[in-house]
Amino acid sequence: MKFGLIGCGAIGASRASSLQNTDKASLLSVFDSDASRRNEFAAKYSAKAPSSYIEMLEDDDLDTVIVSTPPNLHREHCIAAFEAGKHVLCEKPLASSVEDCRAIVDAANASGKVLGTGYNYRFYPAVAKARELISEGAIGEIVNVKSFAGHPGGKEFTHQWVHDPEIMGGGALMDNGIHLADLLLHFLGSADETHGFSSDMIWNFGDSEDNGFILAKTPEGRIGTLQASWSDWTGYKFHLEITGTNGGIKIHYPPMMTVHITRPTGTAKKGKRRIYIFPLFQFKERLRSYLWTIEQSFIAEQTDFMQRARGLGGVGATGIDGLKAVELVNAAYRQRCTHEKAAKVAAAETSSRAAIG
Ligand SMILES: NC(=O)c1ccc[n+]([C@@H]2O[C@H](COP(=O)([O-])OP(=O)(O)OC[C@H]3O[C@@H](n4cnc5c(N)ncnc54)[C@H](O)[C@@H]3O)[C@@H](O)[C@H]2O)c1
261 pLDDT tier (thresholds 50, 70, 90) = very high
What CA–CA distance (Å, rounded) separates 176 from 229? 8
Asked if residue 54 belongs to a domain, the reply is yes
53 with 147, same domain: the answer is no
In this model, does residue 312 exceed pLDDT 70?
A: yes
For ligand 1, atom 40, name the residue with the nearest CA. Answer: 70
Domain range enclosing 73? 2-113
pLDDT for the residue numbered 268: 86
Q: If you measure from the C-alpha of residue 267 to the centroid of ligand 1, how many angstroms do you get, rounded to a whole number?
A: 54
141 with 283, same domain: the answer is yes
211-217 and 193-199 as β-strands: parallel, antiparallel, unpaired? antiparallel
pLDDT tens-digit map of 42-93: 999 999 999 999 999 999 999 999 999 999 999 999 999 999 999 999 999 9
What CA–CA distance (Å, rounded) separates 179 from 128? 14
pLDDT tens-digit map of 120-164: 999 999 999 999 999 999 999 999 999 999 999 987 788 899 999
The domain total for the chain is: 2
249 with 133, same domain: the answer is yes
99 with 214, same domain: the answer is no
| Whether 309 contacts 64, CB under 8 Å | yes
What CA–CA distance (Å, rounded) separates 19 from 26? 6
108 with 142, same domain: the answer is no
pLDDT for the residue numbered 338: 56
280 with 154, same domain: the answer is yes
Question: Average pLDDT of 203-215?
Answer: 92
Q: Which atom of ligand 1 is nearest to the CA of 11?
A: 16
344 pLDDT tier (thresholds 50, 70, 90) = low
Q: Which atom of ligand 1 is nearest to the CA of 159?
A: 19
Q: If you measure from the C-alpha of residue 70 to the centroid of ligand 1, how many angstroms do you get, rounded to a whole number?
A: 4
The whole-model pTM stands at 0.94
Q: Is 35 exposed, middle or buried (0-12, 13-18, 19+ CB in 10 A)?
A: exposed
250 pLDDT tier (thresholds 50, 70, 90) = very high
Count CB-CB contacts under 10 A for residue 290. Answer: 12
pLDDT more than 90, % of the chain: 88
202 with 235, same domain: the answer is yes
pLDDT for the residue numbered 206: 82
Q: Which atom of ligand 1 is nearest to the CA of 69?
A: 24
198 with 237, same domain: the answer is yes
100 with 215, same domain: the answer is no
Question: Can you spell out the DSSP letters for 140-176?
Answer: -SEEEEEEEEE---STTTS-GGGG-HHHHSSSTTTTT
